[in-house]
Structure 1
Amino acid sequence: MLIEDYHFSEAFYMTIITVSTVGFGEVQALSTAGQWFTSFLIIASFGTFAYGLTLLTQVLISGELAEDIKRRNLNRSISTIKGHVILCGFGRNGRRALRKLVAYGQEVLVIENDPQIIEQYLKSANVLYLEADATDDDVLRQAGVDRANALVTTLSKDADNLFVVISARTLSPSIRLISRASSESTERKLRAVGVDSVVMPEGVGGGHMASLVMNPNIVEFLEHLSVEGSSDSNLEEIELSDLLGEKRSCNLNELHIRQRTGCTIIGIKDPEGNYMINPSSEIILRPKSRLFVLGNARQIKALNDLLAEIHTQNSNT
């Protein structure tokens, strides 16, 4: 049969199944309506496929898929983290606190609800974070407040800091709480609800400037000391129970810290909270006391190795 004899609908129909590479054989001859319907179905299917392919391409190009995978991995890490520090707020004080904690090798989880701060600082940093409101109890639970060692809140509003520490203390009675405050009245309220330490940045800054006027050389000397673990002169705090092992008490000389690590003990905090500066080697040490030692990076590492060795020995006995 010549092409001129084809009905228009048949020609159009054959063109569609050929161009679309469907190319199926007919089980039975189709009517004109069937041919038009099949042609429309093929065209619509290709349109749907093309639209889906376009969306997939946009997702891949824009990085949404990669971001979603990263977010899932982040949530998985957050769900298993423990012994960490929760840092609420990532403003100037929060960023400074993070640098100090990371320098000490402490694992940190940041809670911040400002998308601009997250985009500018947190997404490119190697740190766990939640884009959420720290005053929400569910967010604190998601952050593992019951598994954390400490919570630091540096939010700009005192009321928010107060709310966070009250929630954290309720959810985890033993967690250590450190909060920022901008007034003495807020400091009193924070301590009343069980905050362990309160920092007033303005007061600290003013006191530091006064010290620079009266004792500039002392301040300069103290600035050479570091608690970050990366300076030539570092301060380290030790829980005495880690060193005593099964002993209930001993004198300072029995620990041989100076001989074994090179670190110098410059202070002690007894279980009652009293501080002793430059303690005598004959002083009796009790469990739950804390030692403050001074040393360089190599000596501090030797001290940490000693603590790890004692901890292993106690675990095996």
Structure 2
Amino acid sequence: MQGSLKRILTGALFFIATMITAVAGYMLAGWSLMDAVYMVVITTFGVGYGEVHPITSTTLRVFTICVIVAGTSSAVYIVGGFFQMITEGEINKVLGARRMTRSIETLEQHVIICGFGRMGQILARKMLDANIPCVIIDNNAERIAMAESSGYLIRIGNATDEAILHTAGIDRAKVLATVLPDDAANVFITLTARELNPKLMILARGELPSTEKKLRLAGANQVVLPAAISALRMSHMITHPATMEFLSNDDGRSRLNELLSQVDIQVDELAIVHNSPMVGATIEDIEVRGKGTFIIVALRKSDGTTITHPSQALVLSEGDAVIVMGHRGDIPQFVRKHVIRRPGRYASSRLFRIDR
């Protein structure tokens, strides 16, 4: 693109210099300024209206030939630069699209974000910060251009279209987040995505509380209601202003994390894997075997739903995860003794972190 622009500028400068030189030459031959300009224009562009004054001298005829050759060549050079610019732009678009398609085809366990509005932009930025590959789907040219300029992989089209979801690699994706402001579109996307990939984790946005049930029936694992979340946070700001101010501050989160570390406390996720002795056990069984060394905070079921303060009679199934808070050394010991059959397979992860 820069080469074609340079070519246009060079041709324009040469054309202007030719025009000025030609006008000056005819004026030196005794022509008026208007006659000289008129002669140069009809000569350069090949209009062929005839000479303003008879050209009888050999010198003037040679000069006119030079004006024709120089003026026409510079004009053609400029036009060629414009065509080069257009062609290069189209070629770059095609090559860029092919590179992006190949990049998407190599992705696995990535995230698909349907909609690049305000929520989509925040979500994509968080994925980028966490080095999680993601593909953006949107049919708005302005938003797509914004996503492309930010370096995201994009697919242009309607996310309700199966073909678009296939080009985004839905069969290899780990998570699909549909964050469009249209509840009907989110329900339809959820239905389509669940049919194309039954194992896919689907996160859906809902504007109305009544939409949550529809999205879950359509196959969404989790439903986010922005209005409800905002209202809940505002209510906490009213009822617990000091706590919210402390936790919303980076120093506050870091301080809290340091305090937990100082007392050797951590929040861990105990996965109930295949053939685990805890399959079929209850929450009460874990508490009894734990002998008070940790607190059960929540239970995440295999279908993705999370239960806070689970009932003691709740039975554990394969694929569930028990979220506990306890001493750093007690949890691995409990896992080796009660959760897995063979030692050395404990892989605890800090599921909840106070700091970003």
Whether these two folds match at TM > 0.5 is yes
Task: Please name the residue that 1:58 is paired with.
Answer: 85
Q: Which residue number in structure 2 is paired with residue 115 of structure 1?
A: 141
Q: Which amino acid aligns with 1:77?
A: S
3-state SS of the aligned residue for 2:135?
strand
Decide which structure has the larger Cα Rg and report it. 2
Instruction: Pick closer, same or farther for the CA change 1:292–1:225 going to 2, 3 Å.
Output: farther
Q: Match for residue 269 of structure 1?
A: 299
Q: Deviations over 1:44-80 (max 9, x none)?
A: xxxxx989965762236x6332232221100011122
Secondary structure at 1:63 match in 2: helix
AA of the residue aligned to 2:84: T
Give the partner amino acid of 2:164: V
**What aligned pairs does 1:176-191 form with structure 2 within 5 A after superposition?**
176-191=201-216
| Residues 95-123 of structure 1 deviation map (CA, whole Å, 9 limit, x = unaligned) | 11112222222211110110011223x12
* RMSD, matched Cα: 4.3
Counterpart residue type for residue 138 of structure 2? E
Gaps of 5+ in 1: 1-48, 227-231, 255-263, 278-284, 295-308, 313-317
Higher mean Cα deviation, 96-105 or 162-171? 96-105
Does the CA-based 8 Å contact 1:149-1:176 persist in structure 2?
yes
1:1-317 residue pairs with structure 2 within 5 A? 57-59=84-86, 63-120=89-146, 122-224=147-249, 238=269, 240=271, 248-249=277-278, 267-269=297-299, 271=301, 275=307, 288-290=319-321
Unaligned runs of 5+ in 2: 1-75, 252-256, 261-265, 280-285, 310-315, 326-343, 348-356
Measure the CA separation in 2 of the matches of 1:115 and 1:239. 45
Judged with a 3 Å threshold, the aligned counterparts in structure 2 of structure 1 residues 51 and 171 are, in CA distance, closer, same or farther, namely: farther
Cα drift, residue 155 of structure 1: 1.0
The residue aligned with 2:21 is: none
Q: Percent identity?
A: 28
How far residue 170 of structure 1 moved from its aligned partner, in angstroms, is: 0.9
Query: Which amino acid counterpart does residue 59 of structure 1 have in structure 2?
Result: I
Could you report, residue by residue, the CA deviation over 1:139-162 in whole angstroms, capped at 9, with x for unpaired residues? 111111111111100112111111
- The question of whether the paired residues in 2 share the 8 Å contact of 1:248 and 1:287 is answered with no
Contact 1:150 1:175 in 2 (8 A): yes
Q: Distance in 2 between matches of 1:187 and 1:99?
A: 25
The CA deviation at 1:176 is 1.1
Distance 1:52 1:236 in 2: 68
Whether the 8 Å CA contact 1:145–1:171 is kept in 2: the answer is yes
Q: Deviation above 4 Å: which 4+ runs of structure 1?
A: 49-56, 232-239, 244-252, 270-277, 291-294, 309-312
Question: Offset of 1:86 from its aligned partner?
Answer: 0.6
Whether the aligned pair in 2 keeps the contact of 1:265 and 1:291 (CA below 8 Å) is: no
| Residues 99/239 of structure 1: CA separation in 2 closer, same or farther (3 Å cut) | farther
CA distance in 2, matches of 1:130, 1:192: 27
Residue identity in the other structure for 1:128: L
Distance change (3 Å), C-alpha of 1:238 and 1:80: farther
Deviations 1:278-306 (A, max 9, x none): xxxxxxx9853436589xxxxxxxxxxxx
Q: CA deviation at 1:203?
A: 1.6
Structure 1 residue 225: deviation in Å?
7.6
CA distance in structure 2 between the partners assigned to 1:189 and 1:293 by the alignment: 32
Over 3 Å counting, the alpha-carbon distance change for 1:249 and 1:103 in structure 2 is: farther
SS state at 1:102 partner: helix
- Find the aligned partners of 1:239 and 1:50 in 2 and give their Cα distance: 72
Distance of aligned partners of 1:167 and 1:236 in 2 relative to their CA distance in 1, 3 Å threshold: farther
**Counterpart AA for 2:234:** M
Determine if contact 2:274/2:318 at 8 Å carries over to the other structure: no
Structure 2 length-normalised TM = 0.53
